[in-house]
């Protein structure tokens, strides 16, 4: 019973392509996030949604578009992929906005490689 599941685990694609990463949580949490982890392992927030509403939209190229059809799902679509987009993308969720008492529950990541 995976709490936060992301698909695919690995994604290799050519520059210029469009791709999507899906995320689902079965914890009943209200808030979901996308983080990017670069080659130096730094975790950077990209987006967060609270009950399907966008609440954080960090400085991210507009080629990245999140979509939350319901509070259990947060997908990430990336247009016109560039070499610099290569990274590990993590989905996470929390009971409410912020880490608070329970922290985030992270998925196992999607390793995106753009060639």
Partner 1 sequence: GQQLNQSPQSMFIQEGEDVSMNCTSSSIFNTWLWYKQDPGEGPVLLIALYKAGELTSNGRLTAQFGITRKDSFLNISASIPSDVGIYFCAGQYAGKSTFGDGTTLTVKP
- Give residues in contact with partner 1 (CB under 8 A): 4, 40-43, 45, 90, 92, 97-109
Looking at the Cβ atoms of 52 and 98, the one nearer to partner 1 is: 98
State the minimum distance, in angstroms, from the CB of residue 105 to partner 1. Answer: 8
Looking at the Cβ atoms of 79 and 88, the one nearer to partner 1 is: 88
Cα–Cα dist 77/67, whole Å: 8
**DSSP label of 57:** E
State the minimum distance, in angstroms, from the CB of residue 70 to partner 1. Answer: 22
Cα–Cα dist 3/86, whole Å: 25
DSSP bridge partners of 53: 50
Looking at the Cβ atoms of 16 and 102, the one nearer to partner 1 is: 102
On the CB side of 88, CA atoms within 13 Å amount to 14
């Amino acid at each position: 019973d995976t709490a936060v599941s992301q698909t695919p685990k690995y994604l290799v694609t050519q520059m210029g392509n469009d791709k999507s990463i899906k995320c689902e949580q079965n914890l009943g949490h209200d808030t979901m996030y996308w983080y990017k982890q670069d080659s130096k392992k730094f975790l950077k927030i990209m987006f967060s949604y609270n009950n399907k509403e966008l609440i954080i939209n960090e400085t991210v190229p507009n080629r990245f578009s999140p979509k939350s059809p319901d509070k259990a799902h947060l997908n990430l679509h990336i247009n016109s992929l560039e070499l610099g987009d290569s990274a590990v993308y993590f989905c996470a969720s929390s009971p409410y906005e912020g880490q608070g008492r329970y922290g985030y529950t992270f998925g196992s990541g999607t390793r995106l490689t753009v060639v």
